[in-house]
Structure 1
Amino acid sequence: MNINSQISSDTMLSAFQNDAKTSGSTSKSSSKLFNELLETSKNLPSTSSDLGAILLSVNEMKKRAQEMRKTIPHDSNHTKAHYLLAGSGLEFHEIESSLKNLKSSELLTEQRVAQGYNDGDLDTYLHIKKDENILSSIEQSLSLAAKDFDNFINQNFNLDWKQRKDEVRESFGILVKKRQDSSNYDTTNLAPLDPNGPIFWGKPPGSGILDGDLNSNVNGNHILREKFEKYAKIIYRFNNSRQSHNDDFQLTKEFIAIFQNTTDSKYRQLLDGWEIIDNATNQSPNIVEFSKKYLENQFLSYVDNLYSKNPSEGLPTNVNKIRAFIDLKLKTGENTWKFNNLTIVNGIPVWALIFYLLRAGLPQDALEVVVNNKLSFKKVEQSFLTYFKAYVTSPDHRLPQEFVSRLHTEYNQHIKNTLDSDPFRLAVYKIIGRCDLTRKNISSITLSVEDWLWIHLMLIKDDMDMDDPVYERYTLSDFQHTVVSYGEYMFKNYYLQALLLSGQYELAVQYSYKINEIDAVHLAIGLAANGMLHVSSYKKDELISVNDGQTRINFVKVLGNYTKSFKYSDPRIAVEYLILIALVNEKEQIEWAYEALRELILETKEFTILLGKINSEGIRIPGVVEERRPLLQLEDQKDFLYKITEQAARRADEERRIHDSLLLYQLSEEYDIVMSIINKLLGELLSSTDLNQSLFRLNDNSETNYVLMAKKLIEVYINNIEISKKVQARNKETCIVLLKLADIRASFLARQWQNTLQQIEDLDLIPFTDESSTRKRAQEFTHLDENILKNIPNLLIITMLCISNIIKQLNESDYQSLTKKQQIDSLKRVAKNCMIYAGMIQYKMPRETYSILINIEVGL
């Protein structure tokens, strides 16, 4: 059924129903029949969505029914109705009779309408009709607009809305956390943004140091760009301070300022991480000692802050501050505590006080508490004062072996398994005696993440004797494995700090990629600047690798990947980052810094910005890279020119990037190489261009045309004495000859035969009048510079064509004189000399050249 049929059918059903209601003469059987028809029509297939809904007034339906009836011939066999009503259960002859009854009813209705007009209701009818037309137009417009909008959406927005939401969030700089299946979580691979994508070294584009897989494009949105610029300014000032040997610049404090006002828990990790790194600067290289001290100072600062908000009676001594802390954290009422089995002395839980004084890094204060309360200790605790005094006074806070054995015995017999034992007593014994290391946690005490880390650090002993039993061994390496095995899931938003405090700086950088990639890069820079980062060779594909038990990070890759998104938009800033590769003062890293800079130079082609330029007076104006020479350990300019500029020029030459290699050799002050290249280019241009074709193109300039380029260079190289000394005389002479050949070509193309011939004679490359020198010139042919040599065949052809044209002009002239005959004879002698010369060297010229020369000579 076509669309018109569908519309007609639906409209007819409505019209039939209305006509049946208005006609008083319609029989009950007809009404019943059409009621059945109406009900049955509900089983018909619905129209397509393109038709829209039919919402018409009664008068509009009557009008459309009348128009449709007019289009149906009187003798119609109602074929379409057959299709329409097929399967409806109605007999067609019954329908036909009903239609006849409706027709008579229609005549009655028309008569009544006509009478209504005569009765003065025409204005009312027209008013109603107008309103119906307006409403109909509005409905039709809305329907079409809705349909067009739906079609547009279907055609243009076939999207995964989850993905679209993530893209919108990322465009505003909101971190979109990648989902992971927690059941398959691997703590050895902590970077879901895949910073470990492989980079393959080689010549193809997109495979170098600067083509990594950083997901964040610093030019992607305003927020990222703003963060990028903040970091870039810090790095620029950092490099300035390094170059001027200014020790006042504090890199980590600059980075801390970026996160100072952050409230996001993820970014709070970075702030805490930077504070750890800042505290590690100029501190003991011993990771355990530094981390313990950091956690103790952090806790004491927290206690001080808490005390300032809730001051208690008495002097603000360390002991009173810790007592106030205990009251706030452990008391549940006036004389009630969270733990039922605390040892209370004068209203103070004495073991908790000792524990938290140790936690705050106040062992001397803790010793005073022990001494003052020695009479309060139980019988089994009487020897504790001896142990604790030995522990506090020991330089490394280690007990003598004899005390260790006795303390372990008392711990195992009287403290470890006592049900009503004070949990803080157990914790203190465990810490000072390193007891029961098979169970390092103290489950009966609610510990923060910082407390947990501190206790584990207190239990570490790296200077283990081989005779020590296995169960008493707990090293930094063991602790590091414990932290990684628990992973991010256990530490939540403290995992970065846990990695840093356990000395796993490389894994801390890898994990921070999950927080923010740009921040992760700068975390690596901060760690490298403080000498805390172990780096791997760039040849390794992984971001993180383990060599000889030492975790290493691919620092070259970290910085190379980062500069990927702005190396073209901000090449100056890219330089500031790439020279940081040499922060790790290792020979291999420095070499990779050189390679990264060469790659940046060749990819961006920003030669003037990066390497500088040599002006028309031959004076060198340095670029960004040269200004940073001291940071690359390239104090000598010659060393810089060789290792950076000239090597880049050689690479461009190997890749047949002629213009780039010319500029780079020029900047590396390899002027003789520049002259050799330009001679080669000019020689090829002259020898390969048709004689009737110009050597110049529209809009040519000294940077695009080899002739103009050679003229500019030869002028500088001859006029500047210092540069002229660096260029071989043969190369300069060759360039001058080639430029004269270019002038000859220009005169020849302008049909200046006499002038062209004079220029050729002045050039003195081929024999003109001296027949005796012909053989000598033929012998010298092979000794000519190859760039000149390849142009001799064209020069001979130009000479012969000029002679031919001059002779032709003379022969066509009207005057006859002895001078005219002498001119022609002289020209023919020149042609003869040229042919003799060409015959001697014909096998050193293209095969067709000699044939062309013979044909020209025959026509003379």
Structure 2
Amino acid sequence: MASENGLNALVQQAEQLTADITEASGELPHVHRNLYQIHEAGQRLLEKTAGVRDGKADVKAAILLGSRGFDVPKLSQKLESLNAAKSLEAIEPVWETDIEGFLSNERENTLLAAIEQSRKNTFAEAERSQWLCCEREWEEEKEMILNSLVGTGQELELTRDSEVYRGSPLSMHGRSGLDAVAMAYAREVFVRNEAKLQGLTHSLITTFHQASIAFPNKSVHDCWSLVKALVDIPSLPPAAHTLRSSPSLQLPLLSQARHHLEHRYLEYIRESVHQSLAQAQLGGVPGTFQLVRSFLHLRQASSIPGLEDGCVEGQPVWALAFYCLRCGDRDCALATISRAQSCVEFCGYLREYVQSQDLRLSHSSETRLRLLYKRTVRTSTDPYKRAVYCLVGRCEVADSHPDVCSKTEDYMWFKLSQVSCEAPDSGHAPSVDDLTLSQLQATLLEEFGETYFNASQVPMLYVTVLLLSQQFEAAIEFLSRIEHFQSHAVHFAIGLQELGLLRLTESPRSRLLVRDSGGVHRLNYARLVISYTRRFSQTDPREALQYFFLLKGMEGRDGHDVFSLCVAELVMESREFALILGRLLPDGSRRPGAVDKFLRDTSELTAFVAAQAEAQGLYEDAVRLYDLCKDHEKVLTLLNQLLSSVASSPPSPQSQRDRLQQLAVALADRYKGCGHSAPHSLAHIFFVLLDIMTFFDHYHHKREDQALEVIQQLKLLPLVAGETVEQKVALFRTMEDEVRRCLPDLLLASMSLLYSQYCGTNAPSSRPGQQDGGQEAVRRKLRRQARTLITFAGMVPYQLPGDTNARLVQLEALMTS
């Protein structure tokens, strides 16, 4: 009670003190000190605290260590006398004098250095391999992206209607990726391939031209008409692209281009006149002259100011002569000029021009006519007279004559008529005043270009200009950049390549259009066709094969045939192995695939596709493909590796183990019935692995008796009486790695089965004192087998996982306890 009263009194005093402080001014009085005074106060507090702490520490140390027999003061003196720096300075280097120790040390250092160097080399090699693999994959991805791009170096316009990237083709769910136009082209390609396989001749350009009649775009049909007219050359050489820079091919192509333009213009005049017969006043003898006269009457050419040298039948003589030449009737133009008395001097030049085979005056006549033009005709007010002089004498090649050549076709006809392509034996020396074909090509493609011809709005007009000037590669490349005309561009290229007229790039990995050091444009034909087939290869693999056959014989990546590369890529992307490459029936016979039509022996192609699948890590597909080409050794080599990795896994439907087991069983049945060409050792491993999978099937399904029967029949483990551990260890040394990798799981599963049976024999008897019926003997046998497995695991030359050894010892210990 007294203590409680004392505590209560203290509490009351504390509360009273708190109240007094609170009722004061509200703040504690401030202590004013300078920095020096604060520092001194702090030092005093530190000394007091350190002294108390050191004293307490000494007391605690004395209590703790003194109970164990340590003298704390002496120990402190010894510790203070130690000087690490002086001790280290006093140490003298001691040289190794023990030869055995020295050699042992050097051996260890050498081993450690070798291990370290090997580690560095391994990491460096792994890093190098990784970068090489990444680089190869990126090159393939880059090639696929470039093949899928709309343009080639041009700035892309990503619109909603333009499909720029097709690297991941969309699934069409059974629908074809070919529209009506593409299907019409594909039908003609199929007919061409059938004819080629049968050794028959076939003109692709002719059939493409006929198919284009049904196309909704008339300009496409007109372009095919131009291409058909250009290549209508007798005895065109097979490798015509090598002569593209030679006058022997340039002159016929120029002539065909002029004839085409002249024929079209004649049809245009005829339609214009027949649409206005009353106003045209067509009459007289039928022919070009009457058509041209009526056409000029419609255009009222006689009212044009500045015309010279009179008229013929009421129309200007030079206008009649020009339009007769424009329609390709040069004899009519000569007859017209002959009827004009004031044109006698020019009539001789025109006669020589008409009678020449290449529509070219002799060098002397051409020089005189050019001088005459410069003296008198250049200043003439008659545009038709100037145009006829420039046409016959090839004067003023830089003048485009806009008064008489108002349309692009007129301009092209005029320039093609002025182009000089002289053979070395023609007698014409090259002149700076001549217009060469290369100059005209550079003017049209580089100086004028797409902007001048408004190619984005009228693309077929620009394509026509390029085709007329024999720039086939540039025309195809331009047209392929337009989404709605890509199929036409591809088939223009196919038709021209069929005749050997295209200049192709050396590498299929280059850009679509390449300009070499000589200024010649070359087309990547393989890339063009492959990028086109990506649109429908997933939905129409048979049609894609038809286009790939066009590339057969071209050298691709790593020296492989482009056809084989394309088929391999098609098979791996579409997964249509049986459809494209065929399949094997249970009796060993082969059902042909779509590719059999193009190859007599498909085994080489199938082996190439299998190698591609193996390189990509698709081992299951590679096994099926190697089996298809009857490379049984490769089949069993890969399949053994796959089976070894999944043999001990629990069976489950649709798993990798289930798929591999079904494939292996089907192959085993066929190989037993039809035979195989693989080595006996591989076949033995294959069947052993199948038996191991059967063992694990029984084990995982708790069929213990069947599992033990299978493992005893395998004779891989010392479980049968009369078999020694040494025999099984010697047998294990001869096993392949595929079987060795299954050993840890086999040991654990077998030990688990023994332990399970051991536990089953420990069931108590139903009657007290009843005999166990020989169960003790069974338990002794099981313990003996378990001990044998432990001994085998310790003697076998194979590094078992640590948990495997621990688990085996644990199970064996449970059986002996």
* TM-score, length basis structure 2: 0.69
Alignment partner, residue 570 of structure 2:
600
Alignment partner, residue 20 of structure 2:
none
Q: In 2 relative to 1, CA 469–206 (structure 1 residues): closer, same or farther, beyond 3 Å?
A: closer
Deviation at 1:561, TM superposition (A): 2.8
- Matched letter for residue 322 of structure 1: V
Deviation at 1:295, TM superposition (A): 1.4
For 1:559 and 1:568, locate their aligned partners in 2 and report how far apart those are by CA, in whole Å.
15
Q: Is the 8 A contact 1:209 1:596 kept in 2?
A: no
5 Å-filtered alignment, 1:289-368, equals 289-306=255-272, 310=277, 312-331=282-301, 336=303, 340-341=307-308, 343-368=310-335
Alignment partner, residue 846 of structure 1:
801
For 2:274 and 2:793, locate their aligned partners in 1 and report how far apart those are by CA, in whole Å.
106
**Deviation readout 1:229-270 (Å, 9 max, x if unpaired):** 4444444344334333443564454455445564xxxx4432
- Matched letter for residue 435 of structure 1: C
Point out where structure 2 has 5 or more consecutive residues left out of the alignment.
Answer: 1-134, 151-161, 235-248
Alignment partner, residue 202 of structure 1:
137
Q: Is 1:520 paired with 2:489?
A: yes
Equivalent of residue 750 in structure 2, options 786, 791, 799: 799
Q: Is 1:377 paired with 2:341?
A: yes
- Matched letter for residue 675 of structure 1: L
Alignment partner, residue 427 of structure 1:
387
Q: Is 1:737 paired with 2:706?
A: no
SS at match of 2:647: helix
Q: Is the 8 A contact 2:188 2:207 kept in 1?
A: no
Alignment partner, residue 500 of structure 2:
531
Q: In 2 relative to 1, CA 854–445 (structure 1 residues): closer, same or farther, beyond 3 Å?
A: closer
Equivalent of residue 532 in structure 2, options 562, 567, 572: 562
Q: CA RMSD in A?
A: 3.6
Q: In 2 relative to 1, CA 549–582 (structure 1 residues): closer, same or farther, beyond 3 Å?
A: farther
Q: In 2 relative to 1, CA 618–251 (structure 1 residues): closer, same or farther, beyond 3 Å?
A: farther
> Is the deviation greater in 767-776 or in 287-296?
767-776
Taking only the aligned residue pairs, the percentage that are identical comes to: 23
For 2:800 and 2:178, locate their aligned partners in 1 and report how far apart those are by CA, in whole Å.
64
Deviation at 1:475, TM superposition (A): 0.6
For 1:836 and 1:474, locate their aligned partners in 2 and report how far apart those are by CA, in whole Å.
97
For 1:820 and 1:417, locate their aligned partners in 2 and report how far apart those are by CA, in whole Å.
131
Deviation at 1:552, TM superposition (A): 1.9
Deviation at 1:476, TM superposition (A): 0.5
> Is the deviation greater in 824-833 or in 780-789?
824-833
Q: Is 1:448 paired with 2:414?
A: no
- Matched letter for residue 679 of structure 2: Q
Equivalent of residue 223 in structure 2, options 270, 273, 290: 273
5 Å-filtered alignment, 1:109-128, equals none
Deviation at 1:828, TM superposition (A): 4.6
**Deviation readout 1:602-633 (Å, 9 max, x if unpaired):** 2222222222222222222233334333xxxx
Alignment partner, residue 213 of structure 1:
149
Alignment partner, residue 240 of structure 1:
194
> Is the deviation greater in 712-721 or in 441-450?
441-450
Alignment partner, residue 480 of structure 1:
441
Deviation at 1:636, TM superposition (A): 3.5
Alignment partner, residue 639 of structure 1:
604
Q: Is 1:401 paired with 2:373?
A: no
Deviation at 1:532, TM superposition (A): 3.2
5 Å-filtered alignment, 1:438-837, equals 439-463=398-422, 471-484=432-445, 485-492=447-454, 493=458, 494-512=461-479, 513-514=481-482, 516-537=485-506, 542-547=511-516, 548-582=518-552, 591-629=561-599, 635-641=600-606, 646-687=607-648, 689=649, 695-698=650-653, 704-721=658-675, 724-725=676-677, 727-769=678-720, 773-812=724-763, 814=765, 816=771, 823-837=778-792
- Matched letter for residue 844 of structure 1: Q
Q: Is the 8 A contact 1:605 1:660 kept in 2?
A: no
For 2:543 and 2:788, locate their aligned partners in 1 and report how far apart those are by CA, in whole Å.
65
For 2:369 and 2:654, locate their aligned partners in 1 and report how far apart those are by CA, in whole Å.
94
Alignment partner, residue 353 of structure 2:
391
Q: Is the 8 A contact 1:528 1:584 kept in 2?
A: no
For 1:746 and 1:365, locate their aligned partners in 2 and report how far apart those are by CA, in whole Å.
97
Q: In 2 relative to 1, CA 206–424 (structure 1 residues): closer, same or farther, beyond 3 Å?
A: same
Q: In 2 relative to 1, CA 346–743 (structure 1 residues): closer, same or farther, beyond 3 Å?
A: closer
SS at match of 2:561: helix
SS at match of 2:515: strand
Q: Is the 8 A contact 1:842 1:850 kept in 2?
A: no
Q: In 2 relative to 1, CA 747–260 (structure 1 residues): closer, same or farther, beyond 3 Å?
A: closer
Alignment partner, residue 121 of structure 1:
none
For 2:363 and 2:724, locate their aligned partners in 1 and report how far apart those are by CA, in whole Å.
107
For 1:855 and 1:461, locate their aligned partners in 2 and report how far apart those are by CA, in whole Å.
99
Alignment partner, residue 9 of structure 1:
none
Q: Is the 8 A contact 2:400 2:411 kept in 1?
A: yes
- Matched letter for residue 407 of structure 2: S
Deviation at 1:734, TM superposition (A): 1.3
- Matched letter for residue 316 of structure 1: P
**Deviation readout 1:667-695 (Å, 9 max, x if unpaired):** 343332222222212111124x3xxxxx3
**Deviation readout 1:688-744 (Å, 9 max, x if unpaired):** x3xxxxx32145699x532222112211222123xx12x222222212111211222
- Matched letter for residue 224 of structure 2: W
Q: In 2 relative to 1, CA 582–362 (structure 1 residues): closer, same or farther, beyond 3 Å?
A: farther
- Matched letter for residue 855 of structure 1: Q
Q: Is the 8 A contact 1:398 1:432 kept in 2?
A: yes
Q: Is the 8 A contact 1:209 1:599 kept in 2?
A: no
- Matched letter for residue 764 of structure 1: K
Q: In 2 relative to 1, CA 363–701 (structure 1 residues): closer, same or farther, beyond 3 Å?
A: same
Q: In 2 relative to 1, CA 617–204 (structure 1 residues): closer, same or farther, beyond 3 Å?
A: farther
- Matched letter for residue 225 of structure 2: E
For 2:545 and 2:318, locate their aligned partners in 1 and report how far apart those are by CA, in whole Å.
58
For 1:678 and 1:755, locate their aligned partners in 2 and report how far apart those are by CA, in whole Å.
25
Q: In 2 relative to 1, CA 417–201 (structure 1 residues): closer, same or farther, beyond 3 Å?
A: farther
Alignment partner, residue 855 of structure 1:
810
Q: In 2 relative to 1, CA 497–748 (structure 1 residues): closer, same or farther, beyond 3 Å?
A: closer
- Matched letter for residue 808 of structure 2: L
SS at match of 1:322: helix
* TM-score, length basis structure 1: 0.65
For 2:140 and 2:692, locate their aligned partners in 1 and report how far apart those are by CA, in whole Å.
39
Deviation at 1:818, TM superposition (A): 8.3
For 1:307 and 1:662, locate their aligned partners in 2 and report how far apart those are by CA, in whole Å.
74
> Is the deviation greater in 803-812 or in 213-222?
213-222
- Matched letter for residue 733 of structure 1: H
5 Å-filtered alignment, 1:18-37, equals none
Q: In 2 relative to 1, CA 812–261 (structure 1 residues): closer, same or farther, beyond 3 Å?
A: closer
Q: Is the 8 A contact 2:716 2:732 kept in 1?
A: no
Q: In 2 relative to 1, CA 346–304 (structure 1 residues): closer, same or farther, beyond 3 Å?
A: closer
Q: In 2 relative to 1, CA 539–205 (structure 1 residues): closer, same or farther, beyond 3 Å?
A: closer
Deviation at 1:456, TM superposition (A): 0.6
Q: In 2 relative to 1, CA 247–559 (structure 1 residues): closer, same or farther, beyond 3 Å?
A: same
Q: Is the 8 A contact 2:143 2:509 kept in 1?
A: no
Q: Is 1:283 paired with 2:233?
A: yes
Deviation at 1:474, TM superposition (A): 1.1
